[in-house]
Amino acid sequence: MSPERLVRPEILALDAYAVAEASGMVKLDAMENPYPLPPALRRELAERLAAVELNRYPEPNPVALRRLIAQRMRVPAGMDVLLGNGSDDLIQIITLALAKPGAALMYPSPTFVMYSMNAAFSGMRAVPVALREDFSFDAEAFVARMREVQPALVFLAYPNNPTGVLYPEADIERVIAAAPGLVVLDEAYHVFAGRTAMHHLPRFANLVVLRTVSKLGLAGIRLGYLAGRREWLDQFNKVRQVYNVNALTVAAATFMLERLEVLEAQAADIRAQRARLGSALAALPGVTLFPSEANFFLVRVADAAATHEALKRQGVLVRNLHPGLRNCLRVTVGTAEENRILLDALKEAL
C-alpha cells in the first residue's frame, strides 16, 4: 500500500479545517456537537482544571474515572472499563493485541476508515464485506463470509459512519453469536441512536463495546472507553501506552460526567434538529438522503465535488467522501441557524 493511501481523511482535511477556523465558516464536516458549554459551567471547569498538578504524571489507569463511566454509562455489573486517547487509540490497542500472521479483521463496507487502516498498520488481513446498495446490513452475507474467513476480529459501527444507518439488533446478535473471535461494537454515536449493545456484554463472552465522549460534546479532550470482560481488557491493557490519558482529560471528563445531564440535553436538541434537517434535505431537488440515527446525514448529489466547492465558497464546510463514496457528502447536524445557512447554501449550489 502506498504512503498516500495510508493518510487518513482527517489529516487530508487539516487545511480545510484551518480555513474554517480562520474564516468563521459554518463547520459541518466533523460530527461535532455544535453547542459550547454554558458560561457558568465553563468557569467552574476552568477552576477544576487549574487545580490539576501538571508537574505530576497522570494516574496510569484512572480508577475513579473508570468507575464513574461504568456508573453513568450503565456498564453491566462484572464488566470493566479501559480508557483511551479517543476511540482511535482503543481501536489500535485492540488490533495490536489480536494481530498475528494470517489473522483477519472483518467489517462491513463502507465504514469507519480506521478499522482498515489499523489492519494495514498491524499486518492483519482486512476483509471488507459490502453493504447493500441502500447501505443496509446484509447479515446473511456477512455471516457466510465470516465462516469462510474465520476472523480474529470484527468491527461493527453501531450506528455506522459514514452512512448513519443503525443495523437491526437481531442482525448484530446473529453476527456476535456466529463470530469465532472478538466482536467490537463501536457505539460512538449511541447518544443519538438511543440503542446500545451494552446490556449484551454478560451474554456474549466475545463482545466488547467501544465508545467515545467526543460526540457528546467533549471532542477536545480526546477520551474513549471500552467496556467488556476483564479477561479481554487485561490483555488489551498489556499493549496500552502507560500514560495514554492525560491528567487534564481525566479532570475534564470527570467534571462533565458528574454533570452528564447538560450534555444529554444538548444531544436531545441535536436529535430534534436532525429530524428537521432531514425533512428539509429530503425535500431538496437533486438530493438523495439516506436515513440516519447519528448526528450527521449522508446525502448523494449529482456532482459532490462541485457541490462541496460551491458550499465552501458560501462559507459552509461539509465532508466530500470521494473516492470512498461516489458523489456523496456527509453533513453534520448543526444548530438551527447553522442548518438554515446550510440549506440556503445547498439551494444555491445544486
Q: Mean pLDDT score of the chain, rounded to an integer?
A: 93
Question: How confident is the model over 18-56, as pLDDT tens digits?
Answer: 444 545 899 999 999 999 999 999 999 999 999 999 999
Domains and CATH numbers, the chain: 3-30+261-349 (3.90.1150.10), 53-258 (3.40.640.10)
Which residues, given as ranges, of the chain have pLDDT below 50? 1-7, 10-16, 18-20, 22
Question: How confident is the model over 293-312, as pLDDT tens digits?
Answer: 999 999 999 999 999 999 99
Question: How confident is the model over 112-143, as pLDDT tens digits?
Answer: 999 999 999 999 999 999 999 999 999 999 99
pTM of the model: 0.92
Q: At what angle do helices 169-178 and 139-149 cross, to 10 degrees?
A: 10
A 10 A CB-CB count for 14 gives: 9
